[in-house]
């Protein structure tokens, strides 16, 4: 049942966004680059490799939670009605299959609406899911949920469950994260829900290796942003002139990733007509990955207008999946 119609590609808009973000971030003090720049084709492949690393516990821990609780999650979200499942930032939709399988076991035909900025990731996910789960119809949407969120209506007697998993929300500042959830809630009806997967705060001895693996895959992922600027903006970054620096910021409860200049250097970016100067040890802040503390996610869900209904964690309490529901008063 795999159909391979190509999805729209937002090439020109993305080129403009990249140029604007790089101009702004590399003129700032301290310098920064937004973490969405990681995810070109090479960066997405490196991220997939990260998810398989022994040090990167997040993906396998969340998958373990789904393996144990997918049936209970689906039953709670459906509450006797039919479900339709949407997903924000679906990517390869790998762990999602456990939830889709549980829902289609329960109700037969299931509509799955994954949303992502990457048309190629969505096409691959659609072909694979429709091949492996014949009761699941995939209706992908190429969409940046941080700037647009248009879910469309559901049928009477149907509940929408939106998945926002993989700790993707942790890459946003807490205020932005709360606003994304509120915008989502505004698109939902009473009884609809969200499953939100978040990484939890834990000891630095576990956190740092997860972002500084022995094989250097995360370092390559971090430095790929420089190679992307070389490819797309004619920049002249020499990746070896920068060191990968992950830092645990306990006060903010986040892992920060930085690229640290090993020497004084000036880098030209042809497409922006820009020369960027770096002092020795000067950093570009490339990512924040927030690690939530107990009760924090539930409070954020509540602020956004969801009733936190249930939280599932693994035995070590490293990762949490929270179910929030839109209450009747909305
Ligand atoms: C996508 N996101 C949840 C990852 C994280 O852990 O914050 C991105 C990542 N950065 C370095 N390793 C993985």
Q: What is the pLDDT along the chain (330 residues), one digit of tens a residue?
A: 333 455 555 555 778 889 999 999 999 999 999 999 999 889 989 999 999 999 999 999 999 999 999 999 999 999 999 999 999 988 777 789 999 999 999 999 999 999 988 888 889 899 999 999 999 999 999 888 888 888 888 999 999 999 999 999 999 999 999 999 999 999 999 999 999 999 999 999 999 999 999 999 999 999 999 999 999 999 999 999 999 999 999 999 999 999 999 999 999 999 999 999 999 999 999 999 999 998 999 999 999 999 998 999 999 999 999 999 999 875
pLDDT at 2: 36
65 close to 198: Cβ distance less than 8 angstroms:
no
Task: Report residue 14 as tokens.
Answer: 């993305």
C-alpha to C-alpha distance for 278 and 301, rounded to whole angstroms: 41
Q: Is 51's C-beta closer than 6 angstroms to any atom of ligand 1?
A: no
Give the SS3 label for residue 161.
strand
Q: Whose CA is nearest to atom 5 of ligand 1?
A: 289
- How far is the centre of ligand 1, averaged over its atoms, from the C-alpha of 289 (Å)? 7
Q: Is 222's C-beta closer than 6 angstroms to any atom of ligand 1?
A: no
pLDDT at 7: 52
Q: Is 288's C-beta closer than 6 angstroms to any atom of ligand 1?
A: no
- How far is the centre of ligand 1, averaged over its atoms, from the C-alpha of 210 (Å)? 9
Task: Report residue 142 as tokens.
Answer: 């190429």
Measured N-to-C along each axis, helices 96-107 and 57-78 cross at an angle, to the nearest 10 degrees, of: 20
C-alpha to C-alpha distance for 90 and 141, rounded to whole angstroms: 10
Count of helices and strands (H, E) across the chain? 9, 14
C-alpha to C-alpha distance for 87 and 81, rounded to whole angstroms: 19
pLDDT at 3: 37
Return the closest-CA partner of residue 245 out of 276, 211, 221: 211
Which residues have CB under 8 Å from 317's CB, separation 6+?
200, 202
Residue 30, preceding peptide bond in cis (omega within 30° of 0): yes
Q: Whose CA is nearest to atom 7 of ligand 1?
A: 289
Pocket mutation for ligand 1, best pick of 36, 37, 164, 171 (most atoms within 8 Å of C-beta)? 171
pLDDT at 202: 98
Give the SS3 label for residue 312.
strand
C-alpha to C-alpha distance for 27 and 274, rounded to whole angstroms: 9
Pocket mutation for ligand 1, best pick of 95, 197, 221, 287 (most atoms within 8 Å of C-beta)? 287
- How far is the centre of ligand 1, averaged over its atoms, from the C-alpha of 157 (Å)? 37
Pocket mutation for ligand 1, best pick of 33, 36, 50, 60 (most atoms within 8 Å of C-beta)? 50
Q: Is 61's C-beta closer than 6 angstroms to any atom of ligand 1?
A: no
The answer, as to whether pTM is greater than 0.75, is yes
Return the closest-CA partner of residue 29 out of 245, 283, 330, 202: 283
Q: Is 167's C-beta closer than 6 angstroms to any atom of ligand 1?
A: yes
Q: Is 287's C-beta closer than 6 angstroms to any atom of ligand 1?
A: yes
pLDDT at 4: 46
Q: Is 286's C-beta closer than 6 angstroms to any atom of ligand 1?
A: no
- How far is the centre of ligand 1, averaged over its atoms, from the C-alpha of 312 (Å)? 21
Q: Is the dihedral of CA 49, 52, 56, 59 positive or negative?
A: positive
Ligand 1 atom showing the smallest separation from residue 166 Cα: 3
C-alpha to C-alpha distance for 211 and 200, rounded to whole angstroms: 15
Task: Report residue 185 as tokens.
Answer: 């809630």
pLDDT at 10: 58
Q: What is the CA radius of gyration of the chain?
A: 20
pLDDT at 8: 54
For residue 66, count other CB atoms closer than 10 A to its CB: 22
pLDDT at 9: 53
DSSP string, 213-265: -TT-HHHHHHHHHHHHHHHHH-B---GGGEEEEEEEETTTTEEEEEEEESS-E
Pocket mutation for ligand 1, best pick of 47, 59, 286, 319 (most atoms within 8 Å of C-beta)? 47
Return the closest-CA partner of residue 136 out of 125, 120, 144: 125
Q: Is the dihedral of CA 129, 144, 220, 218 positive or negative?
A: negative
C-alpha to C-alpha distance for 165 and 195, rounded to whole angstroms: 7
């Amino acid at each position: 049942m795999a159909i391979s119609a190509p999805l729209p590609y937002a090439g020109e808009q993305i080129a403009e966004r990249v140029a604007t973000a790089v101009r702004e971030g590399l003129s700032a003090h301290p310098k920064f680059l937004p973490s969405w720049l990681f995810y070109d084709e090479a960066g997405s492949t490196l991220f997939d490799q990260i998810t398989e690393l022994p040090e990167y516990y997040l993906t396998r821990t969340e998958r373990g939670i789904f393996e144990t609780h997918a049936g209970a999650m689906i039953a709670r979200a459906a509450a006797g009605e039919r479900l339709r499942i949407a997903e924000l930032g679906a990517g390869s939709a790998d762990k999602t299959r456990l939830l889709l399988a549980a829902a289609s076991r329960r109700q037969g035909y299931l509509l799955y609406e994954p949303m992502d900025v990457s048309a190629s990731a969505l096409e691959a996910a659609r072909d694979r899911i429709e091949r492996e789960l014949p009761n699941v119809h995939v209706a992908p949407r190429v969409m940046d949920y941080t700037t647009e969120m248009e879910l469309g209506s559901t049928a009477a007697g149907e509940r929408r469950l939106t998945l926002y998993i993989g700790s993707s929300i942790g890459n946003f500042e807490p205020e932005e994260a709360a606003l994304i959830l509120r915008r989502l809630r505004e698109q939902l009806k009473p009884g609809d829900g969200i499953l939100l997967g978040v990484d939890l705060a834990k000891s630095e001895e576990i956190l740092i290796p997860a972002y500084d693996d022995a094989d250097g895959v995360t370092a390559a992922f971090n430095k790929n942003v420089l190679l992307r600027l070389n490819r797309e903006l004619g920049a002249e970054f020499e990746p070896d002139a920068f060191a990968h620096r992950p830092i645990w910021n306990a006060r903010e409860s986040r892992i920060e990733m930085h690229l640290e200049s090993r020497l004084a250097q000036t880098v030209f970016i042809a497409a922006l007509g820009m020369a960027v100067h770096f002092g020795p040890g000067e950093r570009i802040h490339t990512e924040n990955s927030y690690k939530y503390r107990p009760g924090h996610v539930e409070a954020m869900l509540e602020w956004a207008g969801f009733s936190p209904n249930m939280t599932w964690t693994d035995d070590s309490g490293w990762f949490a999946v929270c179910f929030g529901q839109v209450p009747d008063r909305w």
